[in-house]
Structure 1
Amino acid sequence: MTVSSACAFAADMAGSVSFVIGDANVIGEDGKPHAVARGKNINAGQILETGATGHIHLRMVDGAFVSIRPQSRLRIEDYHYDSANAENNRIKFVLEKGVARSITGRAGEASKQNYRLNTPLAAIGIRGTDFVVQATADITRVTVQSGAVVMSPLAADCLASALGPCKSASSRVLTAAMRDAYLELRNRNEAPLLVPAEKALESPNVIAPPRPEEPRATADKQTKAGANMDSREAIREVAADTIKNRVDADAAIPAASPNTNNNNNNNNPTTPAVEPPPPVAIAPAKFWWGRWKPFVEPGKESAGFDAANLPGRESVFGNSVFSLFRESGTVVVPNSGVGKFQLADSEAYMMTDRKLTAAQITSPSLTIDFGNRRFDTSLTINSADSAPVLVQSSGTVTHQGLLLGGTNTPNTKLNGLLSSGGDQAAYVFERGLSGSQSVLGVTRWTR
């Protein structure tokens, strides 16, 4: 063999089999399955397939690790590692079905923008990561054991042919700080949903558990300290690109109009006067919010996303107008007692055809049962443009301090956050009404 032919062969090699058990095959150029054995070289372009008892572990040329668990089919579409020039690195997997785990190596660490794992529904990009994916024709789930991933539905703004994480309005970030939770996608026309650890009954690690020969999952040192910079950077990157994709950034958004009614026609009913909620002592805020760029009025940039996105804060949830921030770091959630909260600060609007009309919140209520990890909340939104609208939700409190709305009033989305120690809470909400009309807002609570 000549030197040139040896180099050409090496460039095609993706890795080798480090462990195999049960029904495990590689699909050859003839399209037929051939049994794999430990030590066998695997090239880019090949497909690995396991049966009901099969496991295949690969050690890639850059030191990465890949596990293909039972009843799975993984295609190594591209795997090129250039130790001298990171820009030339390319890694692309397609998980056609089943469960696979990926621990990134030197190529993925150096060239995150050139790493991609596709499923029939989703694209998954990385931030230096150990993650596990489950794929069927109808569902994609991903859980993170170290680092962070970005999951996006495959669409016109997230092509299967591309590399790297997609950055669209439907992209969602999952970090190792949300350990044992997973993102789930069931429809290309929707964003992935976060399933908290308490409800993670169909996690990829539950559907197809790892063999003891797999590397043990280890938490990031930064995650343990509550300062996973890669995770926060991923959130900021996706949030910034989400702003660009929500609406045309140059679109003129009318200013919020005051809650008045100048129509003196006696045949038209007027909105009844409402009593504002009683004032409460305002504690120093541990939550902040900023508007997406298209909703920032000229001269009021201090109300925008960029103004709220300061060091020491992380963006976690949002609705059509607001992104909600909290203090970065570990959140300690009380494990007993019931807290009754008072509304300390809020913004609420009626939105019609993307025009905002200021609204008022009355009858606010938030109760958190720390022992049972449950919360209940309700608000009434009063606007000149509509009869009073009830927003109500009951849901789960996760061990990371997330409030995940479960049972809501119709067409309502509500998610929020707890501060460490449970003395403050905040959430964003949005309820769709008829046509292009909705009520939405953001709230902060103290106790």
Structure 2
Amino acid sequence: MNSLNMPGFLPHRLACFLLSVGLITPLMAAQGSAEVVGEVTLLIGQAQLVGADDVVRTVERGQPVRAGDRIETREGGHVHVRFVDGGRLSVRPASRLQIENYSHSATQPQGSAIKFRLDEGVIRSITGTWGEEARERFRLNTPMAAIGIKGTDFVVKSDANATAASVYSGAILLAPLDDCATPLGSCQKGREKLLSADMKGLMLELNRQQGVPQFVAAVDLLASARRPAAGVGIATTVPPVVGVGVGAEARAATGANLDKPIVNEARGRDLVEAATQIAAAQIAAAQSPVVPAPAPLQPQVNELVWARYAWVKDGGLDTLSQTFEQASAAGRESVAFGTAHALTRNASPAGAVLTTTDAAVNFRLAGSSAFFQRNFDLGVEAAKVDNGTLAVDFSRATFATQLGVSSPTLGADSVVASGSIGKDGVMRTTSANAIVLGATTLDGKEAGYLFEKSIPTGALRGVTLWGR
């Protein structure tokens, strides 16, 4: 009789009884036992929730959300979800999103998994604490692309033939879905591209004709979500604000709390019209003549110098490095070594360590030189380096970088790497699609790294210098 006091015994007995008399079905019992991972905090218009049991439910504010659920919004429909770890998800009109997994293990991070699938439409995702702690276990798939994160607030628009993504904070790694051998984390097979929040004016786009993600001029993906006719839709041209609904301006104009349920369609239209008016005013203001800001000065690098080995045959294409004799003439010391180059910097006293008051810096590319050596004839050709980013978090001693590289034989390619920075300023790569070796100056003002990447048609080599 003591077994009657066992935790979960009575609910189990009750479920068995209800099953036996036909008041619930096995599928209903399975859905009820699924762990709740979040709740709906905002609903505008119409949307439905399709559970793992394939039962369709009308979405309501406060409704629990479980792993396996699919959120489907209609034209004009808009749903916000807050997850148990503080993560947030905004599902825009005419969208279909599957929550495939949302789990976490503090003792076994390798068991954590956050995975979404956006079949069509537009969503905005803000990473919670689980995603921050196990970024390598996060994945958002679309019919075309796989997206991994680096602590991120980002927007994705997708259909069967194309995917576009923009970033508000942090960074994402977007790759063709076909390149992914693992179900979670970012995919790094050489065709991926990194997009970070500091790459202003750019977004990533992947379509079936390209096959490789491309940087394109940014547009407001939230505003491009489909809306119903006659202007009764979500005014998404208002700049998005974390943690609020249609927009802070709309809430101030209407005096409404958009986290409260929308009780009828007329009330929803009132909120939408208020936000639309504010958006129109902002567009009109944006069309006023604006005096362009002066172009930023080219960053200067004075301490770091690349030295080139004497045996390197680059056909005179290396315009950035010096011979070892030239580089060491001023008493510089080598701090990073590759097969063709070594990075040198001013000699420092014994025991000197990296010291800077800056918590984090987004370096700008000051100079680069790269060449591609072909396998079939051992000839070399110049390679172009562009769209470079280098983010260094000195407070966490980490770095993340991305480069676009191209040449006639190579085509378009990329170099992506992240890792740690030691007290000596030397970069130590932990994740990369190429060999990346480099360092910063001990005052944190300059940085440089080399990259080497072998592909079936040849070998890519290059050096970079970065300033502020």
C-alpha spacing 1:113/1:410, structure 2 compared with 1 (3 Å): closer
Q: Which residue of 2 aligns with 1:98?
A: 121
Q: Which residue of 2 aligns with 1:166?
A: 187
Q: How many Å separate the matches in 2 of 1:210 and 1:186? A: 24
Amino acid at match of 1:135: S
Q: How many Å separate the matches in 1 of 2:180 and 2:414? A: 26
Q: How many Å separate the matches in 1 of 2:68 and 2:114? A: 11
Deviation at 1:301, TM superposition (A): 6.2
Question: How many residues were matched structurally?
Answer: 307
Q: Which residue of 2 aligns with 1:4?
A: 8
Q: Which residue of 2 aligns with 1:302?
A: 342
C-alpha spacing 1:258/1:158, structure 2 compared with 1 (3 Å): closer
Q: How many Å separate the matches in 1 of 2:91 and 2:314? A: 59
Amino acid at match of 1:183: L
Kept after mapping to 1: 8 A contact 2:368/2:462: no
C-alpha spacing 1:95/1:65, structure 2 compared with 1 (3 Å): same
SS of the residue corresponding to residue 48 of structure 2 reads strand
C-alpha spacing 1:187/1:97, structure 2 compared with 1 (3 Å): same
Amino acid at match of 1:164: G
C-alpha spacing 1:193/1:2, structure 2 compared with 1 (3 Å): farther
Amino acid at match of 1:90: A
C-alpha spacing 1:213/1:151, structure 2 compared with 1 (3 Å): closer
- Greater C-alpha Rg: 2
C-alpha spacing 1:86/1:411, structure 2 compared with 1 (3 Å): closer
Amino acid at match of 2:243: P
TM-score normalized by structure 1? 0.52
Q: How many Å separate the matches in 1 of 2:459 and 2:342? A: 25
Kept after mapping to 2: 8 A contact 1:155/1:188: no
What is the CA RMSD across the aligned residues, in angstroms? Answer: 5.6
C-alpha spacing 1:84/1:186, structure 2 compared with 1 (3 Å): same
Q: How many Å separate the matches in 2 of 1:181 and 1:216? A: 25
Q: How many Å separate the matches in 2 of 1:443 and 1:332? A: 10
Deviation at 1:95, TM superposition (A): 0.6
Q: How many Å separate the matches in 2 of 1:113 and 1:153? A: 17
* The one of 207, 211, 230 aligned to 1:186: 207
Deviation at 1:50, TM superposition (A): 0.5
Q: How many Å separate the matches in 2 of 1:135 and 1:56? A: 17
Q: Which residue of 2 aligns with 1:73?
A: 96
TM-score normalized by structure 2? 0.50
Q: Which residue of 1 aligns with 2:66?
A: 43
Q: Which residue of 1 aligns with 2:275?
A: none
Q: Which residue of 2 aligns with 1:16?
A: 39
* The one of 237, 240, 243 aligned to 1:215: 243
Q: How many Å separate the matches in 2 of 1:301 and 1:85? A: 41
Kept after mapping to 1: 8 A contact 2:51/2:68: no
* The one of 155, 160, 170 aligned to 1:132: 155
Q: How many Å separate the matches in 2 of 1:119 and 1:187? A: 12
**Runs of at least 5 residues in structure 1 that lack an aligned partner in the other structure:** 218-254, 260-273, 285-289, 304-310, 313-327, 334-340, 360-380, 382-390, 417-425, 429-435
SS of the residue corresponding to residue 155 of structure 1 reads helix
Kept after mapping to 2: 8 A contact 1:143/1:180: no
SS of the residue corresponding to residue 342 of structure 2 reads helix
Amino acid at match of 1:62: D
Kept after mapping to 1: 8 A contact 2:157/2:165: yes
Kept after mapping to 1: 8 A contact 2:50/2:57: yes
Q: Which residue of 2 aligns with 1:419?
A: none
SS of the residue corresponding to residue 139 of structure 2 reads strand
Kept after mapping to 2: 8 A contact 1:67/1:214: no
Deviation at 1:126, TM superposition (A): 1.3
Kept after mapping to 1: 8 A contact 2:41/2:80: yes
Deviations 1:400-429 (A, max 9, x none): 9x99999x999976999xxxxxxxxx9x9x
Amino acid at match of 1:116: R
Deviation at 1:88, TM superposition (A): 3.4
SS of the residue corresponding to residue 302 of structure 1 reads strand
Q: How many Å separate the matches in 2 of 1:82 and 1:392? A: 44
| Alignment partner of 1:60 is 2:67 | no
Structure 1 residues 16-35: aligned runs within 5 Å = 16-28=39-51, 31=54, 33-35=56-58
Q: Which residue of 1 aligns with 2:291?
A: none
